[in-house]
Amino acid sequence: MYSPDEILEKSIEMGTKKIAKPLLAKLILGFIGGAMISLGYLGYIRVISSVAEQWGSFASFIGACVFPIGLIVILLGGGELITGNMMAVAVAWFDKKVSGKDLAINWLTITFANFLGALFVAYFFGHVTGLTTSGHFLEETATVAQSKIAATPIQAFISGIGCNWFVGLSLWLCYGAKDSAGKILGIWFPVMTFVAIGFQHSVANMFVIPAAIFEGNATWLQFIQNVIPVYAGNIIGGAIMVSGLYYLAFKHHD
| The pLDDT of residue 49 | 78
Determine the pLDDT at residue 71.
Answer: 95
Which pLDDT tens digit goes with each residue over 30-43?
A: 999 999 999 999 99
Q: Say whether pLDDT at 253 is over 90.
A: no
Query: Alpha carbon of 22 to those of 18, 28, 29, 237: distances in Å?
Result: 9, 10, 11, 27
Q: What is the pLDDT of residue 231?
A: 98
At 52, is the pLDDT very low, low, confident or very high (cuts 50, 70, 90)?
A: low
123-140 exposure pattern, b = at least 16 Cβ within 10 A, e = fewer: bebbbeeebbeeeebbbb
Averaged pLDDT, 64-86: 95
Cα 41 to Cα 204: distance, rounded to the nearest angstrom: 7
Residue 158's pLDDT is 98
Contact call for residues 210 and 219 (beta carbons, < 8 A): no
Taking 70 as the threshold, does the pLDDT of residue 254 lie above it? Answer: no
pLDDT at 50: 72
Between 50 and 220, the more confident residue is 220
| pTM of this structure | 0.94
Q: What does the pLDDT look like over 157-200, one tens digit per residue?
A: 999 999 999 999 999 999 999 999 999 999 999 999 999 999 99
Please state, in angstroms and rounded to a whole number, the distance separating the CA atoms of residues 200 and 42. Answer: 15
Question: What percentage of residues in the chain have a pLDDT greater than 70?
Answer: 98
Q: Are 135 and 52 in contact (CB under 8 A)?
A: no
Given a cut of 90, whether residue 134 has pLDDT beyond it is no
CB atoms within 10 A of CB 57: 11
Higher-confidence position of 73 and 140: 73
